Structures are given as C-alpha cells and as structure tokens.
Structure 1
C-alpha cells in the first residue's frame, strides 16, 4: 500500500474529468507524439565527457529528457487509460531501471576513488539525480500500479529492487553523506535528496519497520535543515535555489505529516518546534520579498534574475495559508492560470500531480495582483530591497547585498547594488552560467560571472574581492528614515593591505525615483603607485555613454512596448573618474536565456589614488 497523496488510476471520475482533459492537454499531445519514436539516450561517452572536456549538460540533458517523456506518458495514461500509453510508461520505467547509474556524472564518486569515467554499479552514489529517479518511479508506482500490473506483471518488483539497491539502502547504511551536514554546512541538497528518499520509502518500501526507520531519519534531517536556516527567512543561494531547498523541505514536511498521521501544518509545539515554525513562516515569505515585478527577481549567487524554469506555486499558496501570510498567498496566487507552470521542460511528476490534485489551488481565480512590498530587510542574510512605488512593479527598485564570500553557490559580491526600472533589472547580477566541471572546483572564481570584477562593487587598487567566509561585510544596516538607506563597510571583503574602511551607502528617494550610491574609503597608508581603483556597474539593455557630460543611459525593453520603456541615467563626477564601457558577449545558453546576447560593464576609474576619498553615483529614472 502506498502512503503518497493524490488518487491513483482507479479514480476514473477524477482523472478522466473534463478539467483534467484541459489541464493535461499539452502533456497528452506530447506523449502521443512520442509514441513509437526512439527514447532519449544516456550514453557512456556522454557521461565520460564530464572528465574529458568538462561538459555535463550532454548527459544530463538526455537523462532529463528521458524522465520528462516518462512524466508525460504517466499523466496521459492516467487520463486516457490507453494501453499504448501504459506500455510507454513501462518502457520508460525499464529504461531507468537498466540505466547503469541514476547519479549525475558531476556527482559520481567512482572517478575520485578509482579513476573511472563510468559509474561503479557496485557502489551506488546517492545524489540529486538518484533521488529524482527514485521519487519519479515511486510516483509512477503509486499512480499507475494497478494498470502496470495488468499490462506488465513484474515491473513493480523491478522498481522496488532497483530503488532499494540504489537509494534506500545507501541512505540507511551510509550516514556519512556530505549533504547530511557531515563536515559541511547543510544546503539545498539535503532536503532535496531526503524528500525524494522519503517519497520512495512511502511508496516502495513494503517492510513497515524499514519504512518507519527511513521516516525517522528523514524527520531528523528535515528538522536539522530548518534549524540551519537564518531566523530572517533569507536564502543565501537566492530565489532559484529557494525552490530546490526550502520548497523541497516544505514538500518533505507534508509527506512527513502524512506518514506520521498528522494534519498538515507547522512542526509540533515545543521549544524547538516553535523556533522551526517561526523559521518556516519567514522562509515562506522569501519569494515575494525578492520579487522585482513581472518575471523578475533579485538575483544573487547562482540565482538567475529571470527564472529559467517555472515552479509549483500551489505549494507556496498552501503553506502561506497555513502560516497566515496573506502577501505570500497573493504572490503565489498571481501565478494561477499560467499553463507553463505544469509543463515546462523540468516538470517533475510529483509536482505536477500535486498541483493537479490541489482543489484549493485549482479553484483560485487567475490574475491576482502580487503584493510587491515596499521594503525588505533580512539582517542575518544581509539582503535589503526597497521600491519607489510599493504595491507596483512600476518605478525604481533597489537591492543591496552584504553577507560574505563563502555562501552557498557563492559569487564574490559583497556590497552589490542592483537596480530595476519598472520591474525590469537594469543594473544587474549576471547570475548562473551553465554548470561545467570547473563550476564548483578550484577554478570557480576564474569564471567571469562569479568574479567581483563583474559585479557592481569596487575594484580596489586593482584588487578583486576574495572567496571565503572571512571576506565579509561589516556592520550592515538598512531601513527607512527620511529616505530609505542601506549602509555597510566592504573593506573586509578585500585582501588589500592597508584598507581601513570602505563605506557604501545606498539611498532611495522615492518621490524622485532616484538611487544614490556614495562610497567613502580610507587606507592606513598612501598609495604605492599601483593599479587605480574603479567602480564597476554591470548593465542590461542598450547603453549610451556621454563621457563629456558625465553620464550614461541604459534602456532595457524586456518585451515592453517601446512607448512604455524608460531609461535609467547613471551620473558621476566627471572631474574625478574616467568612464569606459566594455561589452560582454554572451555565449552561454542559460545566461542568454535571461539577458540575451550581451551585457555591458561601465567602469568608473579614479584619476588619482589617495589615502582617503569619496565617490557619488546617481541612478535616475528618465
């Protein structure tokens, strides 16, 4: 008996309904187009590329396409009951069961131990990829088990065997996986993997004692994850990884409640439970607090400013109602009625089915307005945001980031300033490039999107910020006085001898729709004639420089009608700095999906180095 939610294929009134026919139409059409065509491949030579030339996308792309086809076939079979589609599901299941490894190449531990460029099938690695396959097979078994038994007896036994060998036993028999917090801080891997392990155990582990043991371990693991998060609800990995960390933990919490026979809700009352409940209340608010307008969000670390995938907003809506956060619920509801939420390229079977079976979500009207809160200050995460027109995507919004350079998915970006105009980022963080072999290796900070030289922070006497937790902001504050302001000292982020302080103050004049960035620095010594200091600004859109006038204008249309597009004018002291533009052509698919063909860096290089100085840059909507 499965312990997962959502009705199975025998609930014909539910799955064969007219509403399902409409909601599932894109998936059914895709599943029927795929019938009789070759399944996507996942070849050993593709797997080996990670160690040969650094590419991981080729192999992962094939695996993901294979799983996506299985998801479409599964939901199409649920609706139609068509035996051809059930056979398609069986084919997809067996392909996954015969795949040598469910681990993604970038995470396989056989290479480090043996030098292999293929998986060691005798020593399964439990990573994100393995968890995803186990969970998908669990949901296929739960939803279509009776139909599979009718068409292909023995397939469900194969699912159980492979999942026990590759996922459930490695989870219970080895407790030194680094993502459990062994010698490393917890991050998004922990709830992502453990939630998928839990789903697999609830559907596929027939031994009640072993199932209870897994539930107990996951319960401990998810509690540890909640305890690891800051009380302000911030996620240092950014908005994108909120969905693959916090959201995964919320999904796991729902399954834990079901496994324990509890009503869905916050952790049970106790000292620890109360603290976790408050943390959950805060993290549920994080997505709407980072919203700039439309499709755009504050992008920090490896988080793209415009999501490259869509997400299951019903989850946020459900938890927002539980914690009593009307703004978070409104923000989630603003995504209701967008069909791509269900059927983007990375849709998972569990998330699609849970959205389809969420009656309160499906009953919501479309076109709810998001809250677009006036200001946000997360003191532990050290991220602040303010907008000139609270409740509207129009006007100017500014975000400031402090923190340190040892954060999860870190970029060297302490003191970064981001500015959006009418909901569209103009002064930007490049965000997440396509992951390759070196992305998380020793040469991570050789890649331009991660370096501070390509963030909106100073280049101090020719020196960039350094990675590591010790390179951090000092004394950041943010809030409203006569105007909104954020202030922090960046000096600690730079390995520059003699740098005493570098105070950055960012103010927003709401009435004037103007942001002012004032830098004030001091050294313990005189300059030694080395490279000069420069202030960098990474810009999206069309940029025009008027050096003689001391300003540049940036215009980023982002799909708006030309008559509605305003510009951001950046002004500086032309007597103190030399301006220059450098165009960065984008040849990375994931960056291009957000920014298009290019970004432009504006460098304001000081004329003279001194022991102390100031610089003021204004950014005005025009």
Structure 2
C-alpha cells in the first residue's frame, strides 16, 4: 500500500526538507495561537500553571527493579509518565501565553528526561539482549515509551527552539544528541526490533504503528540529513505495510476499542505525518481498508463512554476526539467525524485523552477545536454491523438512538492480540446502560503478557458469558476457535450462530455446541441466546455463566431481574425445570476494574439439574 507506491527513487522529491516542514505554528508565529478560543487558552494555561516549580520526581533504580522483584509496574511507569505529562502541559501553556513564565520548568523537564538511563518502562526490558533487573545502556532498544519520549522532545524543540536557545543552546543540542543516540540511529541500523515486522516470528500489533508514528515524528522534526530522513520514511512505510497487511479487510481491531487508540489511531498518525511531510502527495486515505479501520470505532460504539469491549479493552473508552473528527474528514465519513465532535462536546476544553502526552494529538486538537465544536454530521448510532474478519456482531433496536436493547457478540480464536478466552461471548445493554457485560482487564503486572497470563481471572472463560462443562473452560491458542460461523440480518432480526466446540479442550467431550445469538425486532423486541449441544458422553454439569454489574434478583423459577440505579431494567427468562440458578458477588480491588464497574460485579450461574450428554438451553432477555 505504501512502499510499493512511494518508497522508490522519487521519495526524496516528495518529502519536504526539515527547514520547509512546518506542520504547526511555532511559539513565535502568534496568529493562530492568539486566535484560540479564550476558554481553551485558559484551560491549558491553568494546566501549565499547576506544573510550575514541578519537582520532576526521582526515577530510582529500585523503583525500576520493583517490576522484576514483585511484578508491579505502576510505581516506575507512573513516575515516568508524570514527568512527560508535566512537560507537555508546560510546553502548550508557554506557546499559548508566550510570556516566558514556564520556560525554566521546561528546561528542567527536558534536562531531567535527557539524563534518564532508559526512556522506556521496566515491562519492556525483555527486548534487551542481556536480561537484568536494570536496563542496559549499551542496548538501545526502541519500545513504545522511548519512542513517545523522543516525539515529545522533538515537538518541544520544534515549538520552542528560539526561546530555548535564548536560555542556553545546550538544551536543543542535548535533545538532538539524545534522540539521535536512542532513537534515530537504532531505527536506521536495527532490523531485529520485532514490531518493525521484518522478522515475522512474532505477531504484529499496535506497537507497529505506535512506535513508527513517534520515530517518524523525530526524523521529520530533527533529522537534517536528507538521505537519512528519506531512509527512515522508506523503512517506516515497509514496516507499516506489514501491519496493514495483517489487518482484516473489515478494519476491525481484535484488541478492542481501547487499543484502536493505539492501533488504528497511531496508524492514522503515521499517515497524517506522511501526508503533511509530502504536502499531500503521499496519500492512501482513499484505500478501502484505511477507511474501514476508522469506521470500526463507531461500529463498536454503544453510548456515552461505553464501547463493545473484549480482549484487554476496558468498557469505558475516551477516544481522541479530534483525531476521530479528522479521520472522518480524511475518509469522507460523517459518522466518524460526528463521533469525534460528540466526544469533544462531552469533554469540553480537555481536547485529548491519552495515557502518554502525545503532542501530535494535542496540537491539531487545539487548532481544530472551534471547527469541531460546531460540527454535527450523521449520528454514530448505527443499527447493525458485522465485521467478518474479527467475527464481531453488533445490533441495536433503533437506528440513530441508544434507546432499547443493544447486543454485541464475537467469535474469532483464542490467540488474538491481548486475547481473553471468550469465544461466543456476548454483551447486552439497555437504553445505553450495561446489563450483561465483559469485565475487561485488570491493571497490568508481570503476569499479564507471559506464561502466567491465563492464571488471571479476567482472562479466563469462566468470567465471560460462555458455557463450562463440568467446570472445564476454553483454552488459549489459535487452534481454539469458533467454527461454522454464520451472520444473518433482515428487518426482523440480527443473528449470529457459531459452533463453540473447538474452543474447548478434548476433556470437555464436546461433539458440537451451536450457540445462536440474536436480537429480535418487533413490537416487543427481545434478545435470545440459544445453546444446542451434543457431548461425547454424559457429563455431570452444564453451566452457563453471565457477568453483570447489578445484583441479580431471582423473580421465581425461570426469571432473573437486572436493574441499574436509573431504573433501566431487563428480565432474563430461562427453563427453570432444567436449570438451577445461583449467583456470586465478586469484590473488585483493582483500580481499573473499579473505575469501570464500581466495587463489585456479579456472576450468574445457570446449571443443569441432571447429568446429560445432549440438550438445549434458551434464554430470553427483554426490557421491562
């Protein structure tokens, strides 16, 4: 898509030189900075003022080693990111206010960050050749946050170079030196970085566009040598092509909507950088797959901050509002732009949400703010969607409205990026409020990505809305998948059927397990989940689990009531003669889980009353 078309002898002619590349006004170019809306100016100046006299918190060796000693990665990560958020806020505040009030703190921030041994985080130290509790200064690996740091410093240099030089020429020279040694030189010389995609032993994920976007930024803003600059752009194109090639044509993000911000969105960042650096001559926004990658996010949109979550995605996501708006404008999709505008209006002056302070998100957000605020476009509430590559179905009762029932379900396989064992998983919302849910993810630790991953409860099928046979759940691995997947849609219903048998180990003794998940639209719409199963032998217990944030109320045999604090209510009806119901309360201690659901979840169990080797179970979910 990119390399074949552009990475050739004409690439150098397409790219603007460093001197001519002016993506945004610097602090000296006052017109656009002074035209920003007053409340936006006040918001960011206040953010900068809060960081005046910032202490720049120590990043100690023992804090770094805590990851290898206890598995905790938050202490070091949080301290590192706090430095970078402070610097980003100070830079934007200075560019807006333009009085020099923030400059000493900016210099301190730049100097402290440049003196760090490693710009990455402990959890990514596995990339280094010598495995040690501390990072190896002689092994300059490029990972997510070292690349992000280079980008932040490059933007600081670009926006404030004249002011920094007035204080000391050493500040910008230090940025140039550190970024060259840590990012620019390794990027050009190393092909062993797995996320580049040149060694296909490891599956690519959001790292590829995320790292490339920040490396590209550093080269475009700081590299004077035209040949090195061109070589970096060419390499980025080849790497991005590997990533784009492995994505399904439906544009679906198998890592879930949170990771769309780091996958699809950082791919958009890369394409925007290439577009801007070539004055629009490197342009693939018309390609169908690029459009579908953007559209995925409104296909996964439920209501307010809720999105269809699976894998390691939380249910509540704050997408980058201005990026969704710009992405929609680039591909000519008014729904995507409208979703961005809707998100911006919810957050008002806070123009971007990102765990790491990405100035390539903040800057366009500032300069497009007034335009986005006035935009309406088309409603992002679509009635139906089917993404055949990642096998995700969504359906709501009404087009352009969150009212009524909402259903989402997935197939796929259990070796997807950030996988949870969840083939056949479904979620149900009522009037935009969660009723039957996917719990999401816990705070990352040393267990999250290696051999102990599936010892974590949130990754196990027992805590998803899927069957268990004599307590046996699904297994992880590409061989554990949905088969015989069929999606159907007409005016009366949206339906997904799939065979779950291959998602379970042989010990579950499943010959066939056909699950049909459908939203029936009528004068009294309802959702039906129907399981028809055939086992190789009689098994003692067939169990269906359902996760919910609401305390279930048993309303007689065959009926369960779920109700939220706003009065939204659904009834779950089942065959009370064949299945017994019980529930358990799950106390939540993890901060990420508590932010999503509060202090507890509930797991409903429907268990077969008698041993069996075949049968069916149907549940009907209706709004009350």
TM-score by length of 2: 0.92
Distance in 2, matches of 1:44 and 1:296, equals 39
**Which has the higher mean CA deviation after the structures are superposed, 98-107 or 476-485?**
476-485
Q: Give the Cα–Cα distance (whole angstroms) in 1 for the partners of residues 353 and 312 of structure 2.
A: 20
Q: 2:486 aligns with which of 470, 477, 484?
A: 477
List per-residue Cα deviations over 1:155-196 (Å, max 9, x = no partner): 111101111111111111110111122211221000000110
Query: Equivalences for 1:103-182 in 2 at 5 Å?
Result: 103-109=120-126, 113-181=129-197, 182=199
Conservation of the 8 A alpha-carbon contact between 1:356 and 1:362? no
1:77 paired residue among 77, 89, 94: 94
* SS of residue paired to 1:612: strand
- Aligned partner of 2:614 in structure 1 is 612
Report the number of matched residues.
599
Residue 116 of structure 1: how far off its partner (Å): 2.0
Q: Distance in 2 between matches of 1:458 and 1:430?
A: 16
For 1:39 and 1:28, how far apart are their aligned partners in 2? 19
Q: Does structure 2 retain, via aligned residues, the 8 Å contact 1:90–1:152? A: no
Aligned to 1:64: 81
Cα 1:599/1:75, change in 2 over 3 Å: same
State whether structure 2 residue 429 is matched by structure 1 residue 420: yes
Residue 593 of structure 1 is aligned with which of 592, 595, 600?
595
Q: How many Å separate the matches in 2 of 1:329 and 1:18?
A: 21
Deviation digits for residues 45-74 of structure 1, max 9, x if unmatched?
111111000000111101111101001100
Unaligned residue ranges in structure 1 (runs of 5+): 268-273
Which of the residues 531, 547, 550 maps onto 1:541? 550
- Cα pair 2:36 2:366 within 8 Å, conserved: no
- Given that 1:139 and 1:203 are in contact with CA atoms closer than 8 Å, whether structure 2 keeps it comes out as yes
Asked if 1 retains the 8 angstrom alpha-carbon contact of 2:384 and 2:395, the reply is yes
Distance apart, 1:453 and its partner CA: 0.1
Contact 2:341/2:372, CA 8 A, preserved across alignment: no
Where does residue 25 of structure 2 map in the other structure? 7
**Alignment of 1:335 onto 2:348:** no
Aligned 1:361-372 pairs, distance under 5 A: 362=371, 364-365=373-374, 370-372=379-381
Compute the displacement of 1:367 (Å). Answer: 6.9
Contact 2:383–2:396 (Cα < 8 Å) also in 1 = yes
Separation in 1, partners of 2:450, 2:178: 31
1:192 to 210, 223, 227: 210
SS across alignment from 2:252: coil
Asked whether the 8 Å contact 1:400–1:417 carries over to 2, the reply is yes
Q: Does 1:570 align with 2:572?
A: yes
1:64, 1:122 → 2: CA distance? 23
Among 101, 110, 127, the alignment partner of 2:118 is: 101
1:125: how far off?
2.1
Matching residue within 531, 549, 553 for 1:519? 531
3-state SS of the aligned residue for 2:537?
coil
Matches within 5 A, 1:445-484: 445-481=454-490, 482-484=492-494
Distance 2:202 2:129 in 1: 20
Q: Deviations over 1:498-547 (max 9, x none)?
A: 31110001121223231110100012x322x5x5120000011232223x
TM norm structure 1: 0.93
Q: Which residue of 1 aligns with 2:306?
A: 296
CA deviations over 1:389-414 (Å, ceiling 9, x no partner): 22101100001100000000000000
Aligned counterpart, 1:386: 395
Cα gap change, 1:82 to 1:173, in 2 (>3 Å)? same
SS in 2 for 1:87: helix
**Residues 33 and 401 from structure 1, CA distance in 2 versus in 1: closer, same or farther, beyond 3 angstroms?**
same
* Pairing 1:388-407 to 2, within 5 Å after superposition: 388-407=397-416
1:403-460: CA deviation from partner (whole Å, max 9, x where unpaired): 0000000000000011011112211001121100100011111111100000000012
Distance 1:452 1:363, change over 3 A: closer
Q: Give the deviation of 1:36 after TM superposition.
A: 2.1
Unaligned runs of 5+ in 2: 1-17
Cα distance in 2 for partners of 1:87, 1:16 equals: 22
SS of the residue corresponding to residue 108 of structure 1 reads helix
Match of 2:512 in 1: 501
Partners of 2:215 and 2:94 lie apart in 1 by 25
Aligned-residue RMSD, C-alpha: 1.8
CA-to-partner distance for each residue in 1:81-124, whole Å, 9 max, x for gaps?
222311211111111100110011100137x7444211111112
Q: Distance in 2 between matches of 1:223 and 1:113?
A: 27
Q: Alignment partner of 2:39: what SS?
A: helix
Q: How does 1:246-285 map to 2 (within 5 A)?
A: 246-263=264-281, 265-266=283-284, 277-285=287-295
Taking structure 1 as reference, are residues 140 and 311 closer, same or farther at Cα in structure 2, changes over 3 Å only?
farther
Q: Deviations over 1:571-597 (max 9, x none)?
A: 111111111101111100011111111
Structure 2 residue aligned with 1:87: 104
Are the structure 2 counterparts of residues 344 and 266 from structure 1 closer, same or farther at C-alpha, using a change threshold of 3 Å?
closer
Secondary structure in structure 2 of the residue aligned to 1:334: helix
Secondary structure at the counterpart of residue 303 of structure 1: coil
List per-residue Cα deviations over 1:269-319 (Å, max 9, x = no partner). xxxxx7xx1101111101110111111110010111111xx3322222222
Q: Name the CA distance, whole Å, in 1 between partners of 2:52 and 2:260.
A: 36
- Residue 30 in structure 1 maps to residue 30 in structure 2: no
Contact in 2 for aligned 1:190/1:225 (Cα 8 Å) = yes
* Runs of 4 or more consecutive aligned structure 1 residues displaced over 6 Å after TM superposition: 366-369
> Which residue is equivalent to 2:3?
none
For residues 458 and 526 of structure 1, what CA distance do their matches in structure 2 show? 17
